[in-house]
């Protein structure tokens, strides 16, 4: 293993890792937004909204994220959607992970004991007051860990956008292989950086989970 | 008995598919009356109780509280508003307490009064303190539910319901989930309410408590009220075979 080479190139990899981080943060934000809307739709009283939510989940979980990104980036212009690679990457990944987050958020909400809703409704709270003041504060705690799992998957998933030439970590590794002919070192280095990001994110999730735990 | 009933259940019926859980039950409760509903599990007693605040809506029949129909047929939006108003006047306590675990005792009690009656923090706090003192739990006002015993949780749940100043209180097997040594403290809190002439409807398995506290006892089985009357009659000289059987089994069980 050529450690010397790795030491020379790693600053460039770190710069690329910033793009991966940026992608991850934006995608998480978009995914949470889509997940919240998706969960609201799936739990709605309206049949139409419920069907829309269910279709969203089955379409985006039922096809490869890479295909979704390709359709958006390469196929988009055909139907009048012009996005640069980074934008297409964020939207493609975000909407995709949003489908998973929809199920995570919905699962946490329905995991709150039915008795909580009954007690709140019995006091005279409306549906929405019950959701806001009683169910969501408890569901929020339940969803921290599974959302952490979604985010973990999403960070690794950002490697997919190398395929539409977003200059993030995986793409950078491929580029350096072109000039160094050392695929083992380059992918290894990228792998280590992914692991550090995942590890630190995991610590963050643990911290949040501990803090949110009910005494 | 010419007095207008406070709670009036008229021809209540409920079925799930072909299974009839309640079969044409009518029940009038006067203001300040304390009614116990006893019967084997699956007899429909909890369903009847939960129909009073429309937690388990009836298939047929009407529930009235004073001159308001609780389960008034209205379009969904209006009904939502109507039932939220009605429920504020009907307190309920559950077998499994259903305290809000993310809120302190204080938070549990002040939540609804602050949201629905627009009480200020100070007013809501004073109310919480008063109701907790009532059930002997004032010293636990800043605890979380998870830090309380079952009996304490149930007393807080009673205080939470009372804080809405309901006209009637419904109790759904409120001591069934408690360790035997914790039952008494909850019973005492309920006795105190009874002495203050709160109108109460109590679904219970505790014949002793029903006998001590209640004005009337209803024995339900298979979705009908088989027999009803004052506790001394129902417990000492029941007329129906089913009531006798039930009581025999229950009293044997309790005697051990």
The distance from CA B202 to its chain's CA centroid, rounded to whole angstroms, is 5
Q: Which of A111-120, A193-202, B228-237 has the lowest mean pLDDT?
A: B228-237
Contact A118/B88, CB-based, under 8 Å? no
Restricting to B residues 200-219, those with a Cβ less than 8 Å away from any Cβ of A are none
Contact A214/B144, CB-based, under 8 Å? yes
Average pLDDT for residues B29-38, to the nearest whole number?
94
Contact A118/B94, CB-based, under 8 Å? yes
What is the number of other CB atoms lying within 10 angstroms of the CB of residue B165?
13
Residue B256 is predicted with a pLDDT of 38
Q: Which of A57-61, B3-7, B76-80 has the lowest mean pLDDT?
A: B3-7
Whole-prediction pTM value?
0.87
Residue A1 is predicted with a pLDDT of 78
Residue A5: pLDDT band with limits 50, 70, 90: confident
Residue B137 has pLDDT above 90, yes or no: yes
Provide ipTM, 2 decimals: 0.91
Helix (H) or strand (E) run with residue B168 in it = strand B168-172
Q: How far apart are CA A60 and CA A102, in angstroms?
A: 11
Return the CATH class of domain A3-214. mainly alpha
Residue A214 has pLDDT above 80, yes or no: no
Q: How confident is the model over B141-193, as pLDDT tens digits?
A: 999 999 999 999 999 999 999 999 999 999 999 999 999 889 999 999 999 99
Residue B43 has pLDDT above 80, yes or no: yes
Q: Which of A118, A124, A127 has the CB atom closest to B88's CB atom?
A: A124
What is the number of other CB atoms lying within 10 angstroms of the CB of residue A101?
28
Q: How confident is the model over A11-55, as pLDDT tens digits?
A: 999 999 999 999 999 999 999 999 999 999 999 999 999 999 999
Restricting to B residues 61-120, those with a Cβ less than 8 Å away from any Cβ of A are 80, 84-85, 87-88, 90-92, 94, 96, 98-102, 111-112, 115-116
Contact B100/A119, CB-based, under 8 Å? yes
Percent pLDDT > 90 in chain B is 81
Residue B250 is predicted with a pLDDT of 79
Q: Which long-range contacts (CB under 8 A, 24 or more apart) does A66-72 make?
A: A66/A160, A66/A163, A68/A92, A68/A95, A68/A96, A69/A93, A69/A96, A69/A160, A69/A161, A69/A163, A69/A164, A70/A163, A70/A164
Residue B163 is predicted with a pLDDT of 94
Q: How confident is the model over B90-109, as pLDDT tens digits?
A: 999 999 999 999 999 999 99
Average pLDDT for residues B72-76, to the nearest whole number?
91
Residue A139 is predicted with a pLDDT of 95
Q: Which of A121, A124, A214 has the CB atom closest to B102's CB atom?
A: A214
Average pLDDT for residues A113-136, to the nearest whole number?
95
Concatenated DSSP letters of B41-95 = TTSSHHHHHHHHTTSS--SEEEEEETTEETT----HHHHHHHHHHHHHTEEEE-T
Q: How far apart are CA B174 and CA B188, in angstroms?
A: 12
Contacts of A121 in chain B (CB under 8 A): 55, 87
Distances (CA, A) of A126 to A75, A120, B85, B176: 45, 8, 10, 29
Kind of pairing between the strands at B60-65 and B7-16: antiparallel
Contact A116/B98, CB-based, under 8 Å? yes
Restricting to A residues 158-187, those with a Cβ less than 8 Å away from any Cβ of B are none
Residue A7: pLDDT band with limits 50, 70, 90: confident
Query: Roughly how many angstroms between the first and final C-alpha of chain B, as a whole number?
Result: 40
Q: Which of A123, A129, A141 has the CB atom closest to B164's CB atom?
A: A123
Residue A148 has pLDDT above 80, yes or no: yes
Restricting to A residues 131-150, those with a Cβ less than 8 Å away from any Cβ of B are 133-134, 137-138, 141
Residue B125 has pLDDT above 80, yes or no: yes
Instruction: Give chain A's mean pLDDT.
Output: 94
Q: Which of A126, A133, A138 has the CB atom closest to B84's CB atom?
A: A126
The domains of chain A are located at 3-214
Contact B115/A137, CB-based, under 8 Å? no
């Amino acid at each position: 293993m050529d450690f010397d080479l790795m030491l020379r190139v790693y600053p460039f990899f770190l710069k690329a890792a910033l793009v991966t981080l940026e992608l991850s943060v934006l995608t998480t934000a978009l995914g949470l937004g889509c997940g919240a809307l998706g969960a609201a739709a799936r739990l709605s009283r309206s049949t139409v909204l419920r069907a829309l939510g269910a279709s969203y989940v089955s379409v985006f979980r039922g096809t490869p994220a890479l295909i979704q990104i390709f359709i958006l980036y390469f196929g988009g212009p055909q139907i009048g959607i012009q996005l640069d690679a980074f934008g297409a990457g964020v939207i493609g990944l975000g909407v995709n992970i949003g489908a998973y987050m929809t199920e995570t958020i919905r699962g946490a909400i329905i995991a709150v004991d039915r008795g909580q809703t009954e007690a709140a409704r019995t006091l005279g709270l409306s549906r929405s007051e019950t959701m806001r003041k009683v169910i969501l504060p408890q569901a929020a705690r339940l969803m921290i860990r599974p959302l952490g799992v979604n985010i973990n998957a999403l960070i690794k998933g950002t490697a997919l956008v190398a395929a539409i030439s977003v200059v993030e970590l995986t793409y950078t590794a491929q580029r350096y292989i072109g000039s160094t002919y050392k695929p083992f070192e380059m992918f290894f280095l990228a792998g280590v950086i992914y692991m550090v990001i995942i590890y630190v994110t995991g610590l963050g999730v643990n911290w949040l989970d501990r803090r949110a735990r009910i005494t | 008995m010419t007095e207008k009933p406070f709670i009036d259940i008229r021809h209540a019926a409920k079925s799930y598919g072909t299974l009839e859980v309640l079969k044409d039950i009518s029940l009038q409760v006067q203001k300040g009356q304390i009614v116990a509903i006893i019967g084997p599990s699956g007899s429909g007693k909890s369903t009847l109780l939960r129909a009073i605040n429309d937690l388990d809506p009836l298939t047929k029949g009407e529930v009235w509280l004073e001159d308001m129909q609780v389960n008034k047929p209205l379009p969904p939006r209006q009904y939502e508003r109507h039932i939220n108003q009605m429920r504020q006047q009907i307190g309920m306590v559950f077998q499994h307490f259903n305290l809000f675990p993310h809120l302190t005792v204080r938070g549990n009690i002040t939540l609804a009064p602050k949201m629905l009656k627009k009480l200020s923090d100070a007013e809501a706090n004073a109310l919480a303190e008063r109701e907790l003192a009532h059930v002997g739990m004032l010293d636990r006002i800043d605890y979380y539910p998870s830090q309380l015993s079952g009996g304490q949780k149930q007393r807080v749940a009673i205080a939470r319901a009372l804080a809405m100043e309901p006209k009637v209180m419904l109790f759904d097997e409120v001591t069934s989930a408690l360790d035997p040594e914790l039952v008494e403290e909850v019973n005492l809190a309920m006795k105190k309410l009874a002495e203050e002439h709160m109108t109460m409807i109590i679904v219970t398995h505790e014949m002793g408590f029903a006998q001590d506290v209640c004005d009337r006892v209803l024995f339900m089985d298979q979705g009908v009220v088989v027999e009803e009357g004052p506790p001394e009659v129902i417990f000492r000289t029941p007329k129906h075979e089913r009531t006798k059987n039930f009581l025999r089994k229950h009293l044997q069980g309790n005697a051990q």
